[in-house]
Structure 1
Amino acid sequence: MRVVAIKNAKTESEIRIVEEMYRLRSRIFHGRLAWDVDCTAGLEIDQYDDLNPTYILCLAGTGAVVGCARLLPAMQRNMLKEVFPQLLETGHLIAHNRMIESSRFCVDTVVSAAREQGGLHSATLALFAGIVEWSILHGYREIVTATDVRLERIFRRTGWSLTRLGPPIQINETKSVAGVLPADWSSFDLLRPSNYSSNFMTPTEELSCR
């Protein structure tokens, strides 16, 4: 599985991939999970997509987007702070500059049928590993997220355990929980599937390519 990071899509290829990601989100969140999200012309886009996030995307061999996550610095505006503060035991997020927030995580497990350790989909593990690798390379040490207890169980199965920031709460149709995950090389090695590759560079390398 190839994992790429896109921020400020510029090329025709990047713009196509990001649009395909919006379609994947609509298909998963609106269609499959029946979440109350706004979709227009088959695209699921919200206000946090306007905040210059980094997208981590898992691509199949055909180039199709089979998984995605959105990353925003925890010190800035993000979904956990503004949409899901009820999941935080203190009612607010105690953030720091080495913490990144992950949101809009999804994998199309129908398209991505390949399985790896513990019966988990290769794309799921690749996306986990990609989030960790990108975070480390950009100076982050913790990943904070609002998720559902089903995904929390998947974290636990991989050995990448979520430290809860509050008790689970039923939000509409989803039993949700907030927590922190480590971003370190031992977690990356634990999660990385056998067919993993990425295009990630450090911030210095990114600047030199501009």
Structure 2
Amino acid sequence: MKLIAIETPKSTEDAAYLDQMYRLRARVFADRLAWNVSRSNGRERNQFDEFEPTYILALSDRDNDVVIGCARLLPAIGPTMLEQVFPQLLSAGRLDTHPSMIESSRFCVDTAYPREAGEGALHDVTFGMFAGILEWSLHQGYREIATATDVLFERILRRAGWPMKRLGRPIMINETMSVAGILPVSRENFERLRPQSYRSAFSPRRQSAAA
């Protein structure tokens, strides 16, 4: 699989990838998980897609670059889902942000996508997405990832060797036991989680001339 990052789409190819991503989100969050999300014409998106996020996408090597995983990243010092939508998950009612923190939301993987031979209990694409988020964050100088998820996914992170530090107690939200937490960004975590099939198209952030 190949991991890419898209901010503002710069080509028809980028726009097509994002359209696939919105469709995948609708299939996962609206159809499979039955979340109360905004869906239109088979696509899921909300107001946080208007804040110029970076999208991390996993592309299939076998099916002409089909999007098989995605996540949305926004600087935590700006508008975040945690503070504006899920403040009840934060013990202090707010997120203690800093410039080296980013929020990850709308993480999902196409679980219907065929697995490669030899994969373990966790889907290879899930590990690829973890590694993609970590690698991009490392290139951009982020040290922490804030996120809201459910306790089942929290266990997946723990099983993968990337445990989350909780920011509050779990709370039932729309029939989902939800929890917020912080994930550490490190080269060691990236190397441990990166699957054998992993490739990426990320590059380090450019430094200003005055740096």
The verdict on a shared fold, with TM-score over 0.5 as the criterion, is yes
- Post-superposition shift, 1:117? 6.2
**Equivalent position of 1:35 in the other structure:** 35
1:137·1:201 contact (CA, 8 Å) conserved in 2? yes
**Equivalent position of 2:70 in the other structure:** 68
Q: Which amino acid aligns with 1:195?
A: S
**Equivalent position of 2:132 in the other structure:** 130
Query: 1-side partners of 2:146 and 2:203: how far apart?
Result: 22
Q: Which amino acid aligns with 2:98?
A: H
Query: 2-side partners of 1:174 and 1:106: how far apart?
Result: 16
Q: Which amino acid aligns with 2:188?
A: S
Q: Which of 149, 157, 162 is 1:147 aligned to?
A: 149
Listed one character per residue, the Cα deviations across residues 45-100 of structure 1 (whole Å, up to 9, x for unaligned) are: 10000000000001111211111000000000010110001000111100000000
Distance 1:115 1:46, change over 3 A: farther
**Equivalent position of 1:90 in the other structure:** 92
- Post-superposition shift, 1:109? 1.2
With normalisation by structure 2, the TM-score equals 0.94
**Equivalent position of 1:57 in the other structure:** 57
Q: Percent sequence identity over matched residues?
A: 52
Q: Which amino acid aligns with 1:3?
A: L
Distance 1:114 1:133, change over 3 A: same
1:56·1:70 contact (CA, 8 Å) conserved in 2? yes
Distance 1:109 1:176, change over 3 A: same
**Equivalent position of 2:121 in the other structure:** 119
Query: 2-side partners of 1:137 and 1:145: how far apart?
Result: 19
Which runs of no fewer than 5 residues in structure 1 stay unpaired? none
With normalisation by structure 1, the TM-score equals 0.95
Query: 1-side partners of 2:84 and 2:146: how far apart?
Result: 14
Query: 2-side partners of 1:117 and 1:55: how far apart?
Result: 25
- Post-superposition shift, 1:118? 4.4
Q: Which of 184, 188, 193 is 2:190 aligned to?
A: 188
Question: Does the residue aligned with 2:189 lie in a helix, a strand or coil?
Answer: helix
Query: 2-side partners of 1:33 and 1:117: how far apart?
Result: 24
Query: 1-side partners of 2:117 and 2:163: how far apart?
Result: 20
Which runs of no fewer than 5 residues in structure 2 stay unpaired? none
Distance 1:99 1:115, change over 3 A: farther
Q: How does 1:14-33 map to 2 (within 5 A)?
A: 14-33=14-33
Query: 2-side partners of 1:118 and 1:195: how far apart?
Result: 13
1:5·1:56 contact (CA, 8 Å) conserved in 2? yes
Query: 2-side partners of 1:98 and 1:153: how far apart?
Result: 25
Q: CA RMSD in A?
A: 1.4
1:17·1:65 contact (CA, 8 Å) conserved in 2? yes
Query: 2-side partners of 1:115 and 1:31: how far apart?
Result: 28
- Post-superposition shift, 1:113? 2.1
Q: How many residues align?
A: 206
Q: Which amino acid aligns with 1:198?
A: S
Distance 1:84 1:115, change over 3 A: farther
Question: Does the residue aligned with 2:206 lie in a helix, a strand or coil?
Answer: helix
1:60·1:112 contact (CA, 8 Å) conserved in 2? no
